[in-house]
Amino acid sequence: MSEEFDMDALLDEMDARIEDTVENAVEEQVADAVTCALQDALPEALEECLADFEFVLPNGAVVRPRQHMKLLSPDKTKLLFCYGGLRVDGSSLTVQTRVSSWETIAVYPSREEAVEALVKVKNAMDAHLEMLEL
């Protein structure tokens, strides 16, 4: 028994996939454009909001954000622009790359090593470095 080939169904599926891809790309571009526009239009407000943000590491160290620091991952595959926020999730060091966006820059063998990396970044921020290679 031979299977019939439905060209209309195939074209409909391709159209739907293309439409979803374009829609997702447009949504992402709009979100990025809005985020950039807000960051450009409200730098003082953003800086003021981040200036009050801080958190305490398990070892008691207080981390206060500094804006606009570049972090290079240990394997040199990611260069992230850090807007000041850092956190450890399990054994991952996560960086605030936009006002409401976080990205993992490195996964370490243990939580302790991730915390050590976070302290290294905190010290680099305190020293007002523009870039740090983890």
**Residues 28 and 64 grouped into a single domain:** no
Give the residue, 89 or 85, on which the prediction is more confident: 89
Average pLDDT, rounded, for the chain: 78
Domain of residue 114: give its range: 54-133
Q: Which residues contact 25 (CB under 8 A, 6 or more apart)?
A: none
User: What whole-number distance in Å separates Cα of residue 1 and Cα of residue 118?
Assistant: 64
Query: Structural domain tally of the chain?
Result: 2
Look at residue 7 and give its three-state secondary structure: helix
Residue 41, strand partner residues: none
Mean pLDDT over 123-132 rounds to: 86
State whether the Cα torsion 126-132-133-134 is positive or negative: positive
- Does pLDDT of 58 surpass 80? no
**Residues 92 and 118 grouped into a single domain:** yes
DSSP symbol at 25? H
**Residues 34 and 78 grouped into a single domain:** no
Give the residue, 67 or 93, on which the prediction is more confident: 93
